[in-house]
Structure 1
């Protein structure tokens, strides 16, 4: 039987606790809590698919990046470093992020396709995003994608 992403998180948490790795165990504990909260939210409890668990991990990693920025801007370097370290731990459970060049190539192709389909002006942005998002899902943040689309559309 193949192990699920949630099971991998639990196994890694156990190993971190045994290895007395406080940072890793705290990070994985919080992430597993977020997964559990997602599972019991709504009308009925359910097990999450690996894709859904991955979305929870991505959301948690984004929170760490935002918190690190906030701490850094507030002059609290030690907390910012810890948040970044937690984000690095979570990044190991996510797909490899696209480089700027790879993202640029995907967006450029989508712009050609959307413009060839007749999209113009503000509607072109939506048409391009509709083409790009499924291709980059989980491998590039929406803000990064939108910025690249705007840049290539000349907006």
Structure 2
């Protein structure tokens, strides 16, 4: 089932349940999908990689907004953002744990022969492609810095 079909089904469920937070998050996903499809010119389906990047972007936006609201003492605005991020995250693949990420990056470092922090750019490029959708870029960066220092 494609992402847009899955989102539409969840939207119908949210409407029936009168879940406004879920409905708002799902509408944002649907809107982002439609925008991405029309950017390409034709009404073609998005690739799975493009869908994952789109969802990650939406989750990151909500988490950043929640952080800003929390810093400003506006928990009333932060809570819906966090709830929406969790709803959107349901469509993402299972995230790697820190231990799994560390093990995979250790293997990648030995394969590439990286030895210092100077090799971080090369490693980030490879790791970002390999773990797309499975790990956050920030988490990958932190673990690589730990392993190379």
- TM-score norm. by structure 2 comes to 0.90
Cα distance in 1 between the residues matched to 2:118 and 2:126: 13
- The answer to whether the Cα contact below 8 Å between 1:6 and 1:53 also exists between their aligned partners in 2 is no
The alignment's TM-score, normalised by the length of structure 1, stands at 0.87
Give 1:129's aligned residue: 124
SS of aligned partner of 1:30 = helix
- Corresponding position of 1:25: 23
In the alignment of these two chains, the number of paired residues is: 149
Which residue of structure 2 lines up, in the alignment, with residue 65 of structure 1?
A: 63
Point out where structure 1 has 5 or more consecutive residues left out of the alignment.
none
Residues 27 and 86, structure 1, Cα contact 8 Å, conserved in 2: yes
Q: Distance in 1 between matches of 2:147 and 2:57?
A: 27
**Runs (5+) with no aligned partner, structure 2:** none
SS in 1 for 2:119: helix
Equivalent of residue 138 in structure 1, options 125, 133, 136: 133
Q: CA deviation at 1:36?
A: 0.7
Match of 1:109 in 2: 107
> Does the 8 A contact of 2:102 with 2:143 survive in 1?
yes
Deviations 1:97-141 (CA, angstroms, capped at 9, x unpaired) = 1111111111111111222xxx45454213322442233111111
Shift of 1:18: 1.8
